[in-house]
Amino acid sequence: MTVFHIPHSSTFIPTEYLKKLLLNDNELRSELLHMTDWHTDDLFSGDVSETDTVVKFGYSRLMVDPERFEDDTREQMTKVGMSVIYERTSDQRKLRNSPTTEEREELLRRYYRPHHARLHDAVSDELSKTDRSLIVDCHSFPSKALPYETDQESVRPDICIGTDNFHTPSRLAIKLKSVFEQLGYSVEYNRPFAGAIVPSIYYRCHPSVHSVMLEINRSFYINEATSASLTLEYQITKLHIASLLRSLN
């Protein structure tokens, strides 16, 4: 049993929130192109079984980002204007005006907290059935660093495995790296992105909740200028991910 967490694959922004953005149509398309983890809801579906749970956020991270801490003082991306509610774009232009206290609470209440409740419930259900839970946090990343990113190294790995010292068993991280390398990929831990999501109630206090983040370099499966999938490469990447996930069972 595995919980697949897919936070950044959607481009949907309800009209009432689109009106809050300070970008024209072309600028918005460009920002969505850069910031969306394209097709990860499908890429990671190749080995999802009926006993697994998929927790997908159905809205764009440009509206609210479910992978940020709700408390801005705990969120390191606050320094670049990209906390739970983004105010800056990936190239640090103004995305929207700062939300009022009421606007912020509405976004968190309607979108952020229900998503985290679903993630919590999925993990809780696994624990009740098997005494353990595994979260696979499903992402992709651009082949070239965006201006807001902390890691600006020009050479990026094919695969990034994000780990947490408490919630990612070393044997799990080592196995994932080994399988990907056997498939011909270059792999790094926690670069260009680090960490793995865990529901706050279990964070750093429940060792039976395991979590790992898998980040796929987008150049392997899409045309990064358009987001269109590269048909053969896409299918190969999807098959390789399925093979990797099967190795965890």
Q: Give 230's DSSP letter.
A: -
Inside any domain, residue 68: no
Sequence letter at residue 92: Q
**One-character DSSP codes across 57-113:** --S-TTT--TTS-SSGGG-GGGGGTBSSSB-B-TTS-B-BPPPPHHHHHHHIIIIIH
Task: Please give the model's pTM, rounded to 2 decimal places.
Answer: 0.97
User: Which residue type occupies 215?
Assistant: E
Query: Could you tell me if residue 156 is inside a domain?
Result: yes
Nearest CA to 238 among 140, 134, 135, 160?
140
Residue 78 maps to a domain: no
Q: How far apart are CA 240 and CA 59, in angstroms?
A: 27
The verdict on residue 37 lying in a domain is yes
CATH of residue 116's domain is 3.40.630.40
Q: How many structural domains comprise the chain?
A: 1
Per-residue confidence in pLDDT tens, the chain, 249 aa: 899 999 999 999 999 999 999 999 999 999 999 999 999 999 999 889 888 999 999 999 999 999 999 999 999 999 999 999 999 999 999 999 999 999 999 999 999 999 999 999 999 999 999 999 999 999 999 999 999 999 999 999 999 999 999 999 999 999 999 999 999 999 999 999 999 999 999 999 999 999 999 999 999 999 999 999 999 999 999 999 999 988 887
Range of the domain at 195: 3-7+32-55+99-246
232 inside domain: yes
CB 44 within 8 A of CB 20: no
Is 74 domain-assigned? no
Question: Between helices 170-182 and 231-246, what is the axis angle to 10°?
Answer: 140
